[in-house]
Structure 1
Amino acid sequence: MKVTGKTILITGGASGIGLEAAKQFLDLGARVIITGRNQQKLDTAKKRYPKLTAIKSDAGNAADAALLYEQVKALGGIDILYNNAAVLVPPSNLGMLSDKHAEGAAYEMEVNYVGVIRLNNLFLGMLQSRKEAAIINTTSILSLAPSLIEATYSSSKTALAFYTRSLREHLKIIGGNVKIIELIPPLVATEMTADRNDKKISAEDMVKGLIDGLLKEHDTIRVGDAKIFNLLNRFFPKFAFGMVNPKKSHELLRN
């Protein structure tokens, strides 16, 4: 899929992976619109990359989503919707009775899953009108093997993975022309993972992997260790589960 000349909307684009993606897409000659909840971060991103269009919008808010659609429509529409925004509630032990589990799960599901469906529903008609268009949904290796200390986050990404695959097949059945792409990254060095000491890939390399997959027309884009992890989980699921949940994570649950 060509990127040059396309207009791309990136949710959660004011920092981390989203901002790096904006930079690399701009370098390839694309027009880029980013969203985020933090106006200061959006302003900083715009100052850093003047060609960006920055719109304040919360990926988990229905009213914001509807307004975002109208704003993007007024700008001429998009060719690619990159659902990058996600939230991660601090790790907790599901075995301990607490209302925080339900509250955290609801928040993660609203942003990581329901919010994606909401935006896809809003923009699908616009994307269908384009000669070549795509939706990119970001899942995780945790949709393959769940993290014990990030159980509800893993669940939200699993839900998104199943939805993404179903949406792809639905569009094939009805003759839709929008490519539905699942992006499966490994652990990426961002603010969200700053307190993790595990092996991480840089945001720059993550986005390079995404773009390589787009250019090669892949429906599922696995980047970095996500490639080998997929094979390990298929043939050695217990080993893969142990990789995601080393013994040190058990200590976090006990404390």
Structure 2
Amino acid sequence: MKLSGKTILITGGASGIGLEAARQFLGLGAKAIVTGRDQQKLNAAKKMYPQLIAIKSDVANANDATLLYNQIKDLGGIDILYNNAAVLVPPSNLGIENDKHAEGAAYEMEVNYLGVIRLNNLFMGMLQSRKEAAIINTTSILSQAPSLIEATYSSSKTALAFYTISLREHLKIIGSNVKIFELIPPLVATEMTEDRNDKKISPEEMVKGLIEGLRHENQIIRVGDAKLFNLVNRFFPKIAFGLLNPKKTHQLLKV
């Protein structure tokens, strides 16, 4: 897929993976629009990369989504929608006996799953009007095997993974030109994972893998250790489950 000349909307693009994606897309001759909830981060991103268009918007808010669509339409539309925004409620708030468990799970589902569907539905007509267009949904290796301490996050990403498959096949049946990509990253060094001591890759490396996958039009783009994990999970699912849930995590469940 050609990226030069494309206009790309990146949710959760004010920092981390989203901002790095904007940087690399700009470097390839694309136009990048980033959204996020934090105006200060958006201002900082705009200062760092003046070519960016930064719009404050919360993917969990239906009114924000509609306002965002109208703003993008006035700007001339987009060719690629990159659903990067995601939230992870801290495990300490997700104990099964904790009264915040359902509240945290609902928030993760609203952002990580329903927010993606909402934006896809809004922008689908715009994307279908383009000669070449795409949607990128970011799932996780946790959509293949769950994390015991991030159970509801894993569930939200599993829902997104199945939705992505269904959306891709549905668009094929109706003859749509919109390509659907599933991005499966490993653990990436971002604010969300800063308290994790596990092996991580940099946002720069992650985005390079994404761009390579887009260029080759790989429907499922696995980056870094996500490739190896897929093989392990396919042939040795118990080992894969153990890799995600080492014995040290069991202690966290007992606290």
Listed one character per residue, the Cα deviations across residues 150-185 of structure 1 (whole Å, up to 9, x for unaligned) are 000000000000000000000001111100000000
Provide the aligned length of Structure 1 versus Structure 2: 255
Counterparts of residues 126-205 of structure 1 (less than 5 Å): 126-205=126-205
SS of the residue 1:179 aligns to: strand
Partner letter of residue 242 of structure 1?
G
Q: Report sequence identity in percent.
A: 82
CA-atom RMSD, angstroms? 0.9
Deviation at 1:254, TM superposition (A): 1.1
Listed one character per residue, the Cα deviations across residues 180-216 of structure 1 (whole Å, up to 9, x for unaligned) are 0000000000000000000001000000000000000
Distance in structure 2 (CA, Å) of the matches to 1:174 and 1:67? 28
Deviation at 1:98, TM superposition (A): 2.2
Listed one character per residue, the Cα deviations across residues 205-252 of structure 1 (whole Å, up to 9, x for unaligned) are 000000000000110000000001001000000000000001111011
State the partner residue of 1:103: 103
State the partner residue of 2:17: 17
State the partner residue of 1:54: 54
State the partner residue of 1:78: 78
Deviation at 1:30, TM superposition (A): 0.2
Deviation at 1:12, TM superposition (A): 0.2
**Is the Cα–Cα contact under 8 Å of residues 105 and 153 in structure 2 kept in the other structure?**
yes
Distance in structure 2 (CA, Å) of the matches to 1:59 and 1:30? 23
Deviation at 1:99, TM superposition (A): 2.1
Deviation at 1:92, TM superposition (A): 4.1
**Is the Cα–Cα contact under 8 Å of residues 93 and 149 in structure 1 kept in the other structure?**
no
1:39 aligns with 2:39: yes
Distance in structure 1 (CA, Å) of the matches to 2:27 and 2:107? 34
5+ residue gaps, structure 1, are: none
Distance in structure 2 (CA, Å) of the matches to 1:103 and 1:5? 42
5+ residue gaps, structure 2, are: none
Q: Detail structure 1 runs of 4+ shifted over 3 Å in the superposition.
A: 92-96
State the partner residue of 1:211: 211
| TM-score (normalizing by structure 2) | 0.99
State the partner residue of 1:69: 69
**Is the Cα–Cα contact under 8 Å of residues 140 and 157 in structure 1 kept in the other structure?**
yes
**Is the Cα–Cα contact under 8 Å of residues 180 and 219 in structure 1 kept in the other structure?**
yes
State the partner residue of 2:123: 123
**Is the Cα–Cα contact under 8 Å of residues 57 and 68 in structure 1 kept in the other structure?**
yes
Distance in structure 2 (CA, Å) of the matches to 1:153 and 1:136? 19
Distance in structure 2 (CA, Å) of the matches to 1:228 and 1:124? 33
Deviation at 1:73, TM superposition (A): 0.2
**Is the Cα–Cα contact under 8 Å of residues 133 and 177 in structure 1 kept in the other structure?**
yes
